[in-house]
Structure 1
């Protein structure tokens, strides 16, 4: 059972935390024009990013996630949508760390937000990248948001932005297994994932046949009504990194 099966829809409450506020502007800044594209959303969770892709003009989005609970909740969100939007999204249970071909592929774009950092070892990371490669059309793009590959976990992330992350131990590959705690109301949400240096991702991407791997900067929300200096500490040590790659 996925650790997220026990979390389910409670995960949605994380969207109210400051730590999540930079995610959408950062992804949009890297994503580019998605109008008319056939997209795959890896580790789609409740479908937040699938909905965003459709709102940005994607022709169709297939969302996949290992958690049956998450997919059940994602499908429920479709019920209240107009048919024209509902027909553009579908959600399936799938372990994306194992070889698979998603329905309606191959795709123009694969998006993976908080996916690659769930690889427990290099072999799993490599398989994730191979799945990205194999589900893309030639010339297709990959956009990912993952844990910060340029800052280690020797020091934990404190909870000042609503989410903390602390190392549970080192991995053989030089990364960290970590516990993430989201200080949501009425109860906290906690889960485990992994934190790797950027070269770990780059090595797996190259071995999987992906090209033009590039790291991109985060973007904090503009004019979000917060006090001046609110994001200063975050900007010194962002919670995530973004990367793009291409299938030749």
Structure 2
């Protein structure tokens, strides 16, 4: 039985159906990548999981029992943590202050020592390398900022962590750092849902790939054994009319060649 299971999830905004009968499952110690073109419903699904949007229909099961997620705080209590693409970090605050913002340790007054010790514990879980936790976030690289955001998500000891485009706009070295973090999360027993456009990153860390197209499930694949072309075809819908596409493209090439000979 999967730790988190979604069945028949639908969500509409007025006349626009963002999600229609979507299913998804993820277990602890597993990385599931959700891929799809713009408008496929990925962001809406993330917001359903994080409690930002309530689904119009469908069921969500967590550890074998049906649950509702009426808000982000409820998702956090349930054991689902989300790291959004914008990371929601305060650049003027240091690493410790960002990790504990809104969750400060203060039996009588702020316990700076306990928060620093806990900060290093969280970072060690990820095998993360930061020179100091007293450094302002503004001075960190993109990969280091992602590290802080992921470490913050571990504060409540979640079972499932949702990462929204974790490697977007990162360089090669920083991307490698983040992919290593995802591997570490899996090794530590967390289930990871990774939203991504980058097929190389998906194949590097994911166990399964779930494709969304126009708000619906359009295939589930083994990330390591399935050719990238098959996954891309499911994303673009090319498998629905592959012969027609090939025919039109061939005709276009032939017309260009004939035009060039005249």
Q: State whether TM-score is above 0.5.
A: no
For CA contacts below 8 A with separation 6 or more, give which structure has more relative contact order: 2
Structure with more helix by fraction: 2
Scaled by the length of structure 1, what TM-score is found?
A: 0.32
